[in-house]
Structures are given as C-alpha cells and as structure tokens.
C-alpha cells in the first residue's frame, strides 16, 4: 500500500490552548520536536516563555501567546494573530481545561460557568474564529476531552457536563465541517497524571495513570493520519484500567 494523503509534522502550523503545563505542555514539545510551529496559548506568560526556551533547540518553534480566549473578542484576536505569526493554521488543538470540583450544593453558578467557559465555550469560539483559516489549509480540529465525558464522579458535575458538551459539539462539527475539508477529532484520554487531580477529593495513584507524553503521542498520530481516513473519536485507557 502507498502512503497517499499522509501528512508529517514538519512545517505544520498549530494553535494549541492550555499549552503551559500538563497535557498541553507535552503536546507542544512533541509537535515542536517533529518540526511543527505552534502558537502556544495560555494565561501564564512566564510559563509560556519558559516553554518556548525549552524548545529552542528543537526542529520546530513555539510562539508564546498569553491571553484569555473565553470571550469572543479574545478568540477573534487570537485568530488574527495566528494568521500573522504562523501564516495560516493547519490545526487547532482545544486542550485548555479548568474545573471546580465540588458537590452540587457547594457548586456555585459562578463555578459552573467558569468551568464551561474554559472547557466548552472557548473551543466553540476558537473553532468559529479559525474555521476560515482551517478551510484554506484543509486542516484539523482536535478537541481534548476526558473520560469524564462518559463516566461521571462525585464532585465533578461541572467538569463532566463541560466535557460531555465538548463531545456533543465535536460530533456536530464533524458533520458540519467535513464538506469544507476540515477534519474534527475527539481525543478522549482516561485518567492522566496532571495537576488537575490535586483539586479532586480522594487519593489517587499517579503511577497508574496515563503520562501526558502518551496523550501527546496520540495527538501526533491524529495529526499525521492519512486524509484517506478520518477518526472521529480516539479513546485512551490507563494500562491498569480505572484509577
């Protein structure tokens, strides 16, 4: 069989949110290692600068973009900046995540709204703003979901709702954007060893979780998958099952 439609990472132009730590940081370094140019988005400018410095010797390049993209103005400004700094966009990776983990009576409307703003509203706004650039390139949208989208847990009402909503949004966009040549994929990792677990009540063994670098490896697979086949949902599980 030939390799028609196969696309490598070299020269790919990627917008990546939540890039300063955890899964996002691992993804940024993995993609830069393959020669991609990444507009790395997060709220913390110092962490982004450190990330860019760490990638200085890699084949690709990380361009820091500190900012908040949970409102329309911020998303539109990012899309304009991505066009200028990268010269176009081949992929949008909606990875940024934030959550307040509280039982329902202690979960304020502000807590709920803040979680949905980062995990659901921002991906909607960024996809909306970047769709013209992605159509030009025949690009990808990869939405980093969570096993919480399909497997709830106590204290996770806001986060589970946000990730379930993200998957619903993604499935609609799979159909809507396909005729425009934009491929939409859900990447749904199980328990992953990130700092988010520090906010969840209970004790967890990080050694049994998926390392962030493995999620990054899976992102690279999605981005380099032949255009002859589209994967709607890629699910990752820890080797030992649920944590």
d(CA 174, CA 177): 6
* Phi, psi (deg, nearest 5) at residue 109: -55, -35
- Is residue 91 within a helix (H) or strand (E), and if so which, with residue range? strand 91-94
List the chain domain ranges.
13-236
Tell me the whole-structure pTM to 2 decimals: 0.92
Judge whether residue 16 has pLDDT over 90: yes
Average pLDDT, the chain: 91
Q: C-alpha 30: how far from its chain's center?
A: 13
Q: Which CATH class is domain 13-236?
A: alpha beta
Please give the pLDDT value at position 1: 35
Assigned token pair, 60? 């690709």
Which of 135, 151, 106, 141 is CA-nearest to residue 222?
141
Catalytically active residues are: 159
Which of 106, 94, 191, 111 is CA-nearest to residue 158?
111
> Given pLDDT bands bounded at 50, 70 and 90, which one contains residue 84?
very high
Output DSSP code: residue 192.
B
Please give the pLDDT value at position 199: 61
């Amino acid at each position: 069989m030939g390799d028609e439609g196969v696309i490598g990472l070299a020269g790919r132009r990627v917008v990546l949110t939540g890039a300063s730590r955890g899964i996002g940081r691992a993804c940024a370094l993995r993609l830069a290692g393959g020669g991609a140019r990444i507009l790395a988005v997060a709220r913390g400018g110092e962490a982004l600068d450190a990330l860019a410095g760490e990638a200085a010797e890699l084949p690709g390049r990380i361009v820091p973009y500190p900012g908040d993209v949970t409102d329309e103005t911020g998303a539109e400004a990012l899309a304009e900046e991505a066009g200028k700094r990268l010269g176009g966009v081949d992929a949008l990776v909606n990875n940024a995540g934030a959550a307040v983990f509280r039982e329902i009576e202690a979960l304020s409307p502000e807590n709920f709204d803040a979680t949905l703003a980062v995990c659901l509203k921002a991906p909607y706004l960024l996809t909306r703003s970047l769709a013209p650039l992605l159509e030009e390139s025949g690009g990808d949208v990869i939405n980093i979901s969570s096993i919480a989208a399909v497997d709830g847990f106590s204290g996770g009402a806001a986060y589970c709702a946000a990730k379930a909503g993200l998957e619903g949004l993604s499935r609609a966009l799979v159909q809507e954007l396909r005729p425009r040549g934009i491929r939409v994929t859900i990447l749904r990792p199980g328990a992953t060893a990130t700092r988010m677990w520090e906010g969840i009540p209970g004790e967890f063994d990080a050694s049994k979780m998926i390392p962030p670098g493995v999620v990054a490896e899976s992102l690279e697979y999605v981005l380099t998958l032949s255009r002859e086949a589209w994967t709607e949902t890629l699910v990752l599980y820890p080797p030992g099952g649920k944590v």
